[in-house]
Amino acid sequence: MVKKERKLSEQIYSNLDYKFKNKKLLIKSLTHSSYSNENKKYNIGNNERLEFLGDSILSLIVSKFIFTQYTEYPEGELTKLRAKVVCEEILSKAARKLDIGNHLFLGKGEEQTGGRERKSILADTFEAIIAAIYLDGGFACAQKFVLSNLKVYIELAVKGKIVLDYKSHLQEYYQSKEELYKIKYIVEKEEGPDHSKVFYVSAYVNKEIIGRGIGKSKKIAEQSAAKNALNKIGELNG
């Protein structure tokens, strides 16, 4: 276990751009509960409590930044802006850019079911790392980490390039046009057994296919197709 911890620390420091004084805080922030549950002699614990603290610190840092930077925004717009950034989708993207998934301590079950790529685990770990940096180096260090990784998404959200409901956004895009457009989603095919189906959906405007998507439910596949369409017309950041 000691060798694994030492190797982990050397790799992750440069990714996070922060040097921990207390190495165990970093290890703890990267430890999923499935790992600590399977390894009873593992005395570092897991990152659930750190996630709790990190969530609040993250909200404060982002709230302070947008409050200061966007002075013309009323309270309601600030709330919407923060919600677009402080969400599982964006936090998991930020975590992937830092290669956090490859440094997680996961139980065998989570490992086998794709836990290193699961959005919820990556987002939670990102919050836990924020708390670990805060406890190790203080608020200024945590703030630097958060803004260096999330400022780009705040700017994209301000420009309307971050969307959580792709179907609604696509509908609004075409409703703004002078011509009459009708959007519909068609399931082109289904694969797999009933308990684990995969749906392939195409998004149509009038009779033209504008996007394609796949998902484990029709709703997810439709959102995927709408996102694909929005990317093609330049309404998203990719």
Domain boundaries, the chain: 2-158, 166-232
> In this model, does residue 55 exceed pLDDT 50?
yes
Q: What is the pLDDT of residue 196?
A: 83
Residue whose structure tokens are 């260090």: 141
> Could you say which of 3.30.160.20, 3.40.630.30, 3.40.50.300, 2.60.40.1170 is the CATH number of the domain covering 166-232?
3.30.160.20
Which residues lie across from 238 on neighbouring strands? Answer: none
Q: What is the pLDDT of residue 190?
A: 95
Active-site option among 55, 110, 124, 136:
55
Active-site option among 51, 110, 124, 127:
127
- Residue 177 CB neighbours (<10 A): 9
pTM for this structure?
0.74
Report which residue type is found at 190.
E
17 belongs to the catalytic site? no
> Could you say which of 3.40.250.10, 1.10.1520.10, 3.90.550.60, 2.40.50.140 is the CATH number of the domain covering 2-158?
1.10.1520.10
Q: Would you state the structure tokens that stand for residue 94, as one six-digit string? A: 């930020």
Q: What is the pLDDT of residue 229?
A: 94
Average pLDDT over all residues of the chain: 90
3-state class (DSSP) for residue 199 = strand
If you count DSSP H runs as helices and E runs as strands, how many of each does the chain have, helices first? Answer: 11, 3
Sheet of 198-205: strand order equals 183-191, 198-205, 208-215
The secondary structure of residue 136, as a DSSP letter, is H
Question: Which comes out higher in pLDDT, residue 67 or 37?
Answer: 67
Confidence bin at 237 (pLDDT 50/70/90): low
CA gap 226, 224 in Å, rounded: 5
127 belongs to the catalytic site? yes
